[in-house]
């Protein structure tokens, strides 16, 4: 007789599957050593940022990730795992996770998937050092704005020169006439 699947486990699989659906990136982390207050603070801050975190049972996570774009992470579901999901800016999420882990001195990144690429912990730490999407946009605006400001300055100088020449011509005509 086949084993009966408990409804709460089916619900957990559904929740994990919905959690990763539409994510910009998924990170597996080990939160071992964090106390309840630290985990609560971590979870709360991630939520404020629009990210989500869920401590998962590996067996249920394996089932949930099967046949999704994150099925490559199944092989990494060993030991304690929390799934951190970024919906907005994965770099900002990684920056926060790395900063939090440095601050409390506990927990560790294990692996993550961004787009179609799997990244090990050391690579995720490098990605966390990159400019965020918002910082990248600001840099781009600055790069685009700089030549335009120079052009405006050159045109302003030309106009000032033209006004000065016209003013001299008007003064000469006034003296002559």
Give pLDDT tens digits for 114-163: 988 999 999 998 888 877 777 777 777 777 777 777 777 777 887 787 78
7-130 homologous superfamily: Ribosomal protein L10, N-terminal RNA-binding domain (3.30.70.1730)
DSSP string, 26-56: EEEEE-TT--HHHHHHHHHHHHHTT-EEEEE
Residue 2's pLDDT is 59
Q: Where are the domains of the chain?
A: 7-130, 132-177
The H or E element spanning position 83 is: strand 81-86
Cα angle 41, 103, 28 (rounded to 5 degrees) comes to 65
For 130, which DSSP code?
Answer: S
Residue 165's pLDDT is 78
Angle, helix 90-104 to helix 121-128, in steps of 10 degrees = 110
């Amino acid at each position: 007789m086949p084993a009966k699947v408990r409804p709460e486990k089916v619900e957990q699989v559904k929740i994990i599957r919905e959690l990763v659906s539409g994510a910009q990136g998924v990170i597996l982390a080990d939160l071992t050593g964090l106390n309840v207050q630290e985990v609560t603070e971590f979870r709360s801050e991630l939520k404020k940022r629009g990210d989500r975190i869920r401590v998962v049972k590996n067996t249920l996570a394996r089932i949930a990730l099967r046949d999704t774009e994150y099925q490559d992470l199944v092989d990494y579901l060993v030991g304690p795992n929390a799934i951190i999901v970024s919906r907005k800016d994965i770099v900002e999420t990684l920056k926060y996770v790395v900063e939090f882990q440095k601050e409390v001195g506990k927990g560790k990144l294990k692996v993550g998937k961004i787009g179609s690429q799997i990244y090990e912990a050391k690579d995720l730490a490098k990605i966390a050092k990159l400019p965020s999407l918002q910082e990248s946009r600001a840099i781009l605006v600055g790069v685009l704005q700089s030549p335009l400001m120079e052009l405006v300055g050159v045109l302003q100088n030309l106009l000032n020169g033209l006004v000065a020449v016209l003013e001299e011509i008007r003064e000469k005509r006034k003296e002559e006439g």
